[in-house]
Amino acid sequence: MPLFLIKRLSFLSHLRPISRPGESRNTAFRWLYAPTPAALGFAVRTTAACLMAMVIAMWMELDDPQWAGMTVWIVAQGSRGESLSKSKWRLVGTAIGVIMSITLISAFPQASWLFFPALGIWLGLCCMLATLVHNFRSYALVLAGYTTAIIALGAVPNPDNVFMVAMSRATYIVLGITCEALLAGIFAHNLAEMARRNIRQKLRSALISVSEALSGLLEGNQAALVRSRALFGPLLTINDQIEFSEVEMGPHAHEGDHARAALAAVSVLLSRGLGMAVRLQSLDQAQPVFQKTAILTRTFFESVPTRLDRDEDVETLRHDLALLRAECRQRIVDALTEEIAIGDRSGQDPRIPPLLDQRILHNALDELLGELEIAISEFEASHQVIRGDHFRFRLQSHRDLREAAYNGIRAGIAVIVAGLIWEVTAWPTGLGFITFVALICGLFATRENPVLATSNFLKGALWAAFVSFFLVFLVIPRLSEYETLVAALSLPMIAGGLAARNSATALHAAAYTLLLPNFVHTWNQGRWEEIQWFNSTGAVVMGVAFAVAIFKLVLPFDAAAERWRMRRTMLQDLRALAAARPIPLAQDWTGRNIDRFARVIRHAGPTPSPTIEGYLQGTLAAMTIGLNIIRLRNVLARNQIPAQARLALQATMNRMSRFTGQYDRASGVARRATAILRQIEAREENISTRIELTRAIAYLIVVSHELDANAVFLDASKPFKV
């Protein structure tokens, strides 16, 4: 399909409102002077939790109370489910980090050049494994790595004291998590009910968007084709958010699994819609009968948004959907009856091909509506408790082993080189420098573009240092009570919390809120003096800057190289679909390709290039081809077609499973198989066999068309560039 079809609209989620002249300066800081109620509530709540954790730590006479406040900002998230999930996995990562820190210090108490390589290897291993998982499971792994560094480096001056250092750090973390959970829990009302409502609303939004896109596709609207492609990225985001809603629901059944299954069905539904567009484009003659069915279907799709709010309306919707599928099947029977009445067993009568096309289109529409029926069924099950339900569902994601290895190597080298700098210079605050190198490498190693992320983080660190300068030198020396300390720190922290809820300043705010308690460094026995503040703050800022340099210099992120690896992996997977045993599941193939599609969108930036647009088109084409290969293999597995037809389909599968660097031969084999099946279908007397052959022909049409239309993208022998 032409590349211009996916310009701009494929990136709707990244577009910003157009600013009017003179308006940009006034709105740049709107998040600060006119925040949304949700952002203000988050900032005030998290600031209160942070200050409460720090005050309790000081009251307990702990040596570094700022770590408790830092933990609060780390685990605080926009939704309660995200915070609870991150807190749980932070505890897991902390426990692993405590064990490993004690192990490393015990193994190398006086051997620094065994200790630092071991620490680097451990952090690298954690970052590598974290790249291969998602959400806060990834966070738990990187946390295990840099928590080991924080505790072990804190015990380097006195290795015998490593257990107490570990217990101290663990205490800060538990205290910070507890305070954040307590404050957030106070303001969280009817959490489980709200979570179920959120899941329903997100699925409803997905179903409505897809229904509107499919309605446009049936009308032949090319803009609808663009909009349908743009939906894949948000679907992946909703899939991640469902996990957090499950946490908010507490003890629950399998509502989340049904919600993920509904999203998978919606994704396959979109792919079938793209396949339907291909079939409509491949027609040689008009199909007035199908046009009437298409009008009925479009009317049905247009009624979907108003019929998903109440369970009673959903049941009526399912009933009408069943009637519409029955209409499609009746049209198939009518076409078959007319073909039989013609009585031309050679298939040469000019009336035969249009009737076959009519059956192909109605069969494809019936299968599309069947996928919608699955999506609606899972949508219903996602907000109901079903007794005895043992349903499980997970979407697979794309994994890049080389990217994981790069992340691990980069983090390991960073720690080892930082350790070498400390050994050579005998820097008094060098341990703090190494600690934050490990922390930043762990936090951002799994980012797709860590250079951009750490650069923004460095800017936030500089802002934290700037604000802490005034607090440390002008304000805090005058304070002697907890209440005045809380009053002095409240406004700077609330500002950081507001910045954290603004997408343009979120990364800056992450550094600011994390490091401000560290730079202020309040404790009961004293206050920072000038030299202490400059040494400690300078070491931390230099640690962040060093991490930025490592990300730029050591195996730097290359978007083009990553896209090429992703494309080659996708094509290898596509070949494997034709021969893998058992037959791969459609949802697994769909899940991996949605993830790939979302990655390409993240590479695009605000002004996507023609190459990025080509990658988007190619990724969706590969997903459509793969789904139709799976369907063809299922036709073969059912063994309901004649031997000659099986041989033609198997020849197509054999060609698809061979790597030649090009797919022109595969498309030729698929077209020949289509012609053979058309002839066999015209001579077949068994109705059920003819229907099965019709399905196979429909799948082959899509495969051959997409192979031809995306021949350059599917050539794995060289990088793809438009």
CA dist., res. 263 & res. 254, Å (int): 14
- When pLDDT is averaged across residues 596-611 and rounded to a whole number, the result is 72
By the 8 A CB rule, do 43 and 500 touch?
yes
- When pLDDT is averaged across residues 184-194 and rounded to a whole number, the result is 70
CA dist., res. 308 & res. 316, Å (int): 10
- When pLDDT is averaged across residues 117-140 and rounded to a whole number, the result is 88
Residues in the chain: 722
Longest CA span, the chain? 101
State the DSSP code for 61.
T
Q: Is 605 left (phi over 0), alpha (psi -120 to 50) or beta?
A: left
CA dist., res. 363 & res. 357, Å (int): 10
Q: How far is CA 50 from CA 65, 67, 179, 188, 221, in A?
A: 10, 10, 7, 18, 53
Three-state secondary structure call for residue 484: helix
In a 13 Å sphere around the CA of 700, the CA atoms on its Cβ side amount to 29
List the one residue out of 335, 319, 413, 405 whose CA is nearest residue 369.
Answer: 319
By the 8 A CB rule, do 146 and 442 touch?
yes
Q: Which residues contact 38 (CB under 8 A, 6 or more apart)?
A: 78, 501
- Of the pLDDT bands very low, low, confident and very high (cuts 50, 70, 90), residue 279 is confident
List the one residue out of 184, 143, 154 whose CA is nearest residue 48.
Answer: 184
Tens-place pLDDT, residues 42-65 = 899 899 999 999 999 988 888 888
Q: What stretches of 400-505 show up as alpha helix (H) in DSSP?
A: 401-425, 430-444, 450-470, 482-500
Three-state secondary structure call for residue 413: helix
By the 8 A CB rule, do 517 and 57 touch?
no
CA dist., res. 193 & res. 255, Å (int): 12
In a 13 Å sphere around the CA of 205, the CA atoms on its Cβ side amount to 13
Q: How far is CA 582 from CA 575, 576, 666, in A?
A: 14, 11, 22
pLDDT reading at 478 higher than 60: yes
- When pLDDT is averaged across residues 658-674 and rounded to a whole number, the result is 79
Q: How far is CA 626 from CA 29, 323, 369, 572, 629, in A?
A: 47, 30, 20, 11, 5
Tens-place pLDDT, residues 616-641 = 788 888 888 998 999 999 999 999 99
Omega before 582 cis (within 30°)? yes
List the one residue out of 701, 702, 631, 694 whose CA is nearest residue 335.
Answer: 694
- Of the pLDDT bands very low, low, confident and very high (cuts 50, 70, 90), residue 252 is low
pLDDT reading at 461 higher than 80: yes
CA dist., res. 613 & res. 604, Å (int): 9
Q: Is 29 left (phi over 0), alpha (psi -120 to 50) or beta?
A: alpha
By the 8 A CB rule, do 592 and 573 touch?
yes
CA dist., res. 122 & res. 412, Å (int): 8
pLDDT reading at 663 higher than 70: no
Three state DSSP letters for 609-633: CHHHHHHHHHHHHHHHHHHHHHHHH
Helix, strand, coil in percent for the chain, rounding step 5: 80, 0, 20
Rg of the chain (C-alpha set): 30
- Of the pLDDT bands very low, low, confident and very high (cuts 50, 70, 90), residue 412 is very high
Q: What stretches of 639-714 show up as alpha helix (H) in DSSP?
A: 643-656, 664-683, 687-709
List the one residue out of 3, 403, 397 whose CA is nearest residue 235.
Answer: 397
List the one residue out of 165, 143, 144, 163 whose CA is nearest residue 154.
Answer: 165
Lowest mean pLDDT among 187-191, 575-579, 642-646: 187-191
Instruction: Look up residue 454 and give its two tokens.
Output: 């750490």
CA dist., res. 376 & res. 365, Å (int): 16
**Most confident option among 94-98, 397-401, 603-607, 658-662:** 94-98
Does this model's pTM top 0.85? My answer is no
Percent of the chain with pLDDT over 70: 86
pLDDT reading at 448 higher than 80: no
Q: Cα angle vertex 531, ends 527, 533, to 5°? A: 55
